[in-house]
């Protein structure tokens, strides 16, 4: 099975004056040919998790299997199954051309030029790098540099690929091109891919499933449509008219916040909008009761459209509240 299995992964960094628990008991699996997004705030443990799997960071404990190989016991054998783009546009030689970089990084993975030539050309065409083939990387824009790094990783033709922040620093068009290319490659090649990013569009466009890491813990592991459905079913917007009694509105806000911690309040001159996530649909009656008891006049109640960004923020905030 050319997938990934992680069980009970732990990593703590010990520095002079502090101890950072970067990864805490993380377990997940990624099936063969599956494309999974890894989301998390800065410092959540995404890159450390990826680097542990790649063998670049030594975990304290846990089991890591890649392509059926115990990566901790046989790191070199496991490396043959893996390729990665790490931390954006780095990872390439800026004094070499795009083509020379591809040939080099494929070569040190044992893919000779004669064996890989056709595929390298195909990658150039999919990533729209054909015109830049013989240009030194240092002369390229950040978008092309990023695409070169992705091409170098894919050129190794490994069954498992990690892309850490592949769209970091890219403009809208370059990000769109890269997402298109990844979608096309995934549809044709069915490689196992893990994409870590702050860019929700990449994850939503390209991935089937999303894992959210917060404070070193894996807090969500859902298919993207399921995650969105979960939050869209729960998230409501209640609009209260500002024409009513100001004290009543304030009381309504306070009681809503007290009953539903984490709800958001947005004010405009005409209205007050209360966004609330309900764990049970029947809680909407409680919310209406709070408004009625406070004397606030409800204008509308609507179920909110939820995108991945909102769902992500909700998960992370919920986790932060749970951790105090």
Partner 1 sequence: MWLVVLKTCWVKTYKLMTRYLFNMLSGFVTLYIVFALLFFGAKSIGGGAMDLGDTLEGMFVGYLAWMLAMMGSTDLAWNVTNEAQTGTFEQQYLSPVGYGWIAAFTESFNFIYNVALVFLIAISMAATTGQKIHLHLGSTLPVMLTVYLQANGIGFTLAGLALIYKRIQSFFQVVQFLMVGIFFIPWDRFPWARFLPLSASQKVLQRVVIDGQKIWEIPASDLILILAVTVLYLALGVLLFRLAESKAREKGLLGQY
The residues that touch partner 1, with contacts defined as CB under 8 A, are 11, 13, 22, 48, 51, 54-58, 76-77, 79-80, 82-84, 86-87, 90-96, 100, 103-105, 107-112, 136, 152
Shortest Cβ 100–partner 1 spacing (Å): 6
Q: Residue 112 and residue 71: Cα distance in Å, rounded?
A: 25
Please identify, using beta-carbon distances, which residue of 81 and 310 lies nearer to partner 1.
Answer: 81
Structure tokens at 43: 């410092």
Minimum distance from residue 149 beta carbon to partner 1 (Å): 9
- Contact at 8 Å (CB) between 129 and 144? yes
* Cα 136–Cα 141–Cα 146 angle in degrees, nearest 5: 85
- The residue (of 54 and 287) whose beta carbon lies closer to partner 1 is 54
Nearer to partner 1, 49 or 294 (CB): 49
Contacts of 191 (CB under 8 A, 6+ apart): 33, 158, 159, 160, 161, 185
Residue 23 C-beta: closest distance to partner 1, Å? 11
Q: How far is CA 240 from each of CA 166, 182, 288, rounded to the nearest angstrom?
A: 42, 44, 11
CB of 11 to partner 1, least distance (A): 8
Exposed / middle / buried, residue 165 (Cβ in 10 Å: 0-12, 13-18, 19+) = buried
The Cα 22–Cα 165 span in angstroms is: 18
Closer by beta carbon to partner 1, 33 or else 107: 107
The span from the first CA to the last CA of the chain, in angstroms, equals 40
- Whole-number Å distance between alpha carbons of 151 and 146: 9
Supply the minimum distance, in Å, between the C-beta of residue 167 and partner 1: 17
Whole-Å CA distances, 267 to 238, 242, 264, 271, 273: 12, 9, 10, 6, 6
**Closer to partner 1 by Cβ: residue 57 or 257:** 57
Pairing of strands 35-39, 209-214: parallel
Q: CB-wise, 105 or 231, nearer to partner 1?
A: 105
Shortest separation between residue 270's beta carbon and partner 1, angstroms: 51
The closest of 68, 71, 63 to 31, measured between CA atoms, is 68
Q: Which is nearer to partner 1, 3 or 116 (CB)?
A: 116
Residue 200 Cβ, how far from partner 1 at the closest point, in Å? 25
Task: Rank residues 109 and 255 by Cβ distance to partner 1 and give the closer one.
Answer: 109
As measured in angstroms, the least distance from the Cβ of 1 to partner 1 is 19
């Amino acid at each position: 099975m050319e997938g990934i299995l992680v069980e009970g992964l732990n990593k703590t960094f010990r520095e002079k004056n502090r101890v950072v628990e970067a990864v805490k008991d993380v377990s997940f699996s990624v099936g063969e040919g599956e494309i999974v997004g890894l989301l998390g705030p800065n410092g959540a443990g995404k890159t450390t998790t990826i680097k542990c799997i790649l063998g670049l960071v030594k975990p304290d404990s846990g089991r890591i299997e890649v392509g059926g190989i115990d990566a901790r016991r046989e790191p070199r054998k496991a490396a043959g199954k893996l390729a990665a783009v790490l931390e954006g546009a780095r990872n390439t030689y800026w004094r070499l051309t795009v083509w020379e970089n591809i040939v080099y990084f494929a070569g040190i993975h044992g893919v000779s030029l004669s064996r890989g030539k056709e595929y390298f050309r195909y990658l150039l065409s999919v990533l729209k790098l054909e015109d830049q083939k013989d240009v030194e990387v240092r002369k390229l824009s950040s978008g092309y540099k990023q695409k070169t790094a992705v091409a170098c990783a894919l050129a190794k033709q490994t069954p498992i690929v990690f892309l850490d922040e592949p769209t970091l620093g890219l403009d809208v068009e370059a990000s769109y091109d890269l997402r298109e290319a990844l979608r096309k490659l995934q549809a044709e090649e069915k490689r196992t891919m893990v994409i870590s990013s702050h860019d929700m569009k990449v994850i939503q466009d390209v991935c089937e499933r999303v894992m959210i890491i917060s404070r070193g813990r894996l807090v969500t592991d859902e298919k993207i449509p399921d995650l969105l459905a979960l939050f869209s079913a729960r998230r409501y917007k209640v609009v209260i008219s500002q024409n009513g009694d100001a004290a009543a509105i304030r009381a309504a806000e306070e009681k809503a916040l007290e009953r539903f911690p984490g709800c958001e309040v947005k004010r405009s001159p005409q209205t007050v909008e209360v966004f609330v996530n309900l764990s049970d649909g029947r809680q909407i009656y409680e919310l209406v009761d709070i408004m009625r008891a406070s004397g606030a006049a409800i204008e509308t109640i609507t179920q909110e459209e939820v995108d991945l960004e909102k769902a992500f923020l909700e998960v992370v905030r919920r986790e932060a509240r749970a951790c105090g």
